[in-house]
Structure 1
């Protein structure tokens, strides 16, 4: 009998949330050497050099420790910061994971959403204390579309930096809107005013590698094909779109990673455009977790590039929706290859 994501109710301990702050499995073996810069995009080679330099400088901060004078207590050197600004699929996460793997001591890697989920699950004070012993905090896809979340994370980063934790963050700029991307980077730096003096902003340009020479969104499966593939794949799950959306509403987003743990294929029937913004944002969070775990996705109903309404894609969460579409399409093509 095929399992259902809507039947899963994961329970996660605080230590497990911190322990899961590592790069997605697809980035387990990446390094600066395995990042191949596009020869037509000199910014990529410059970004690699900036990332290597960051590791060299950040590694010395905790290694040196605080200096103690005759009549004063030891002081903790402030962490440094690097901000990688660029479009979808240009290798920023590859560089971020390479920084994580190159840094000594305890480290932490999470998306912006995972950091906000951590604070929501553990509380601000507990999150701060648990992250303060890290040498570096790597934050993928820093987002400015939610002022409340941005202010909380900005305060967290300021206090962590004061405790000697170095920070690396990436952003996603919409393709073809590089001016907007640079403006977004400045918004980020203004938003975290206490950190702006230590952040180096580095641009990474190039086409989305997930869509290079690839066909458009694949045709959805029929209901019969979907059920047959789910039944033939060990570890697959099968849910209707509405049942899955309803179940996601009952779970804290910090549990989405555990929700798909061990799943080999996600099948979703009767997919239709998400009319509700809350539903759509939960789908974005789920798409991120599926992409991180490299889990193929097969659907019936509308094409995956139609899962968010045109009004939503044109709104304030545009970057999130386009990123989710890009990732879902990559996972659907992965399913085609596996089949």
Structure 2
């Protein structure tokens, strides 16, 4: 029997569903501080666990009595006063986890979220910009201002417009007393080059910068530590046969799926792959342009969130992005996508 195709799906998601869905992805449902295993060769990892625990305790114990006046100031025309912060990370309204790929930043961020009582929200940088796009800036601020904590995974600095949008949102939320925890997307080979992500992040948020403490998380990418490269692409016939024999799998032509993504808002990519056990793609090749490449990055993130294995024919997953792309401004996103897709291809190879 021919497997179903992602391109036949027409996913829809409402604004309320977008807000309600702001929680760690399924693969992080069970993570906690105690399940994070620090690398003994990287002392910063154990220190980061302690810093995140302290931050979660501060958020939980925070006095919310001033929320009413702050919200009235935000939405009633007055000017809200910025909450005062001391010079220690634990006393600040923001915590920024800075480090390379695969060192457990998302694990720590999700653990922090789990340790704090609600109401609270969690999303990637892209999901947050999607939320603003659907709800509008003012309505997003109104809804999220009711929360104790906003956790932002993979705060990105690639698009100045989106960066300033989110930093203005974060500024409004911290004015309302909301604590914010964020992770970076620093490249491993940039960790010794002036701490790129931390410096740029703190610079971009301007007046908010004093409210954030930076917590370093060093180490190699655990997804590839001591593991083989991604499996080689399958033969077309073998791919089709395996897809047909896999319950819950989908099988698509790569170009057809790229076309589907072009006509679908990125906020719906998670719904697109919901309930899928394995994604099979035939005829994979390098993305023809940046627009297609960035959509593939967003899809890779949603697949990784849900731990959905990927198998391909044609080109290798590591060749999805051209050398020109990998040397350009979106390099961080592309390398993260390759890292995650490689991990997903290994998941199936081991099963």
Q: Fold-level match, TM-score > 0.5?
A: yes
Q: Using the alignment, how far apart are the partners of 1:42 and 1:76 within structure 2?
A: 38
Q: Which residue of 2 aligns with 1:155?
A: 168
8 Å contact 1:65–1:77 — kept in the other structure? no
8 Å contact 2:190–2:196 — kept in the other structure? no
Q: Which residue of 1 aligns with 2:302?
A: 289
Listed one character per residue, the Cα deviations across residues 124-171 of structure 1 (whole Å, up to 9, x for unaligned) are 112111211111010011010100000000000000011111000001
Q: Which residue of 1 aligns with 2:208?
A: 195
Q: Which residue of 2 aligns with 1:40?
A: 41
> Aligned in 2, Cα 1:225/1:166: closer, same or farther, shift over 3 Å?
same
Q: Using the alignment, how far apart are the partners of 1:217 and 1:2 within structure 2?
A: 24
Q: Using the alignment, how far apart are the partners of 2:257 and 2:67 within structure 1?
A: 54
Q: Which residue of 2 aligns with 1:29?
A: 30
8 Å contact 1:66–1:76 — kept in the other structure? no
**What is the number of equivalent residue pairs in this alignment?**
333
Runs of 4+ in 1 over 3 A off after TM superposition: 75-79
Q: Using the alignment, how far apart are the partners of 1:225 and 1:68 within structure 2?
A: 62
Q: Which residue of 1 aligns with 2:144?
A: 131
SS at match of 1:179: coil
> Aligned in 2, Cα 1:181/1:328: closer, same or farther, shift over 3 Å?
farther
8 Å contact 2:98–2:217 — kept in the other structure? yes
Q: Using the alignment, how far apart are the partners of 2:209 and 2:129 within structure 1?
A: 20
Q: Using the alignment, how far apart are the partners of 2:267 and 2:48 within structure 1?
A: 31
Segment drifting more, 104-113 vs 277-286: 104-113
Question: Shift of the alpha carbon at 1:269?
Answer: 0.4
Q: 1:105 aligns with which of 89, 94, 118?
A: 118
Q: Which residue of 2 aligns with 1:315?
A: 328
Listed one character per residue, the Cα deviations across residues 99-124 of structure 1 (whole Å, up to 9, x for unaligned) are 00000121111111111111112211
Question: Shift of the alpha carbon at 1:58?
Answer: 1.5
Segment drifting more, 9-18 vs 315-324: 9-18
8 Å contact 2:282–2:314 — kept in the other structure? yes
Q: Using the alignment, how far apart are the partners of 2:81 and 2:238 within structure 1?
A: 60
Q: Using the alignment, how far apart are the partners of 2:280 and 2:232 within structure 1?
A: 14
Q: Which residue of 1 aligns with 2:277?
A: 264
Listed one character per residue, the Cα deviations across residues 45-71 of structure 1 (whole Å, up to 9, x for unaligned) are 11111101111111222x4422999xx
Q: Using the alignment, how far apart are the partners of 2:163 and 2:68 within structure 1?
A: 35
Q: Which residue of 1 aligns with 2:131?
A: 118
SS at match of 1:197: helix
Q: Using the alignment, how far apart are the partners of 1:43 and 1:26 within structure 2?
A: 24
Q: Using the alignment, how far apart are the partners of 1:254 and 1:271 within structure 2?
A: 24
**Superposition CA RMSD, Å:** 1.7
Q: Which residue of 2 aligns with 1:230?
A: 243
Q: Which residue of 2 aligns with 1:89?
A: 102
8 Å contact 2:15–2:135 — kept in the other structure? yes
8 Å contact 1:173–1:181 — kept in the other structure? no
8 Å contact 1:304–1:325 — kept in the other structure? yes
Q: Which residue of 2 aligns with 1:303?
A: 316
Listed one character per residue, the Cα deviations across residues 270-303 of structure 1 (whole Å, up to 9, x for unaligned) are 0000021000000000000000000000000111
8 Å contact 2:186–2:196 — kept in the other structure? no
Q: Using the alignment, how far apart are the partners of 1:127 and 1:66 within structure 2?
A: 20
Segment drifting more, 102-111 vs 320-329: 102-111
Q: Using the alignment, how far apart are the partners of 2:11 and 2:206 within structure 1?
A: 38
8 Å contact 2:101–2:188 — kept in the other structure? yes
> Where in structure 2 are the equivalents of 1:143-222 lying within 5 Å?
143-180=156-193, 182-222=195-235
Q: Does 1:80 align with 2:101?
A: no
Question: Shift of the alpha carbon at 1:76?
Answer: 8.6
Q: Using the alignment, how far apart are the partners of 2:238 and 2:11 within structure 1?
A: 29
